[in-house]
């Protein structure tokens, strides 16, 4: 039996892991990319800050997965992680694929 809080932690783990990927990839590629600290819509942040932000998201998301490691053998929890990961990735892809909606220019 999986603890109820495993499902709550899985939501945050999926969100952090999916959010960490584009920041880390853009940072190590040397491209500017918006972060939570960039100053609002339409502003970009430095590659270094993106590497740090993406890395911290990946580390915290990995730690959250480690916390629920005993429940990862449960099929329902794994399906939740996969569905949430795909949903968060689609949401981020839509948000950054259509920057005009958020007042940013390409």
pLDDT in tens, 67-103: 999 988 889 988 988 999 899 888 888 877 776 665 6
d(CA 78, CA 84): 10
Residue 36 lies in a domain: yes
pLDDT tens-digit profile of 27-72?
Answer: 999 999 888 887 776 788 899 999 999 999 999 999 999 999 998 8
Contact 53, 28 (CB under 8 A): no
Structural domain boundaries enclosing 25? 4-99
Residue 70 lies in a domain: yes
Residue 106 lies in a domain: no
Domain count, the chain: 1
Residue 50 lies in a domain: yes
Residue 82 lies in a domain: yes
| Angle, CA 56 vertex, CA 31 and CA 39 arms, to 5° | 55
Two structure tokens written together for 104 = 């940013």
Cross-strand bridge partners of residue 45: 33
Residue 28 lies in a domain: yes
DSSP assignments along 21-55, one per residue:
HHHHHHHHTT--B--TTS-STT--B-HHHHHHHHH
Residue 105 lies in a domain: no
Residue 104 lies in a domain: no
């Amino acid at each position: 039996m999986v603890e109820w809080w495993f499902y709550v932690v899985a939501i945050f783990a999926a969100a952090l892991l999916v959010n960490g990927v584009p920041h880390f990839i853009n940072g190590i590629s040397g491209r500017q990319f918006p972060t939570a600290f960039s100053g609002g819509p339409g502003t970009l942040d430095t590659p270094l800050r993106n590497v740090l932000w993406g890395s911290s998201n990946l580390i915290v998301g990995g730690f959250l997965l480690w916390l629920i490691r005993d429940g990862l053998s449960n099929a329902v929890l794994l399906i939740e992680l996969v569905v949430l990961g795909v949903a968060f990735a689609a949401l981020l892809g839509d948000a950054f694929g259509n920057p005009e909606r958020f007042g940013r220019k390409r």
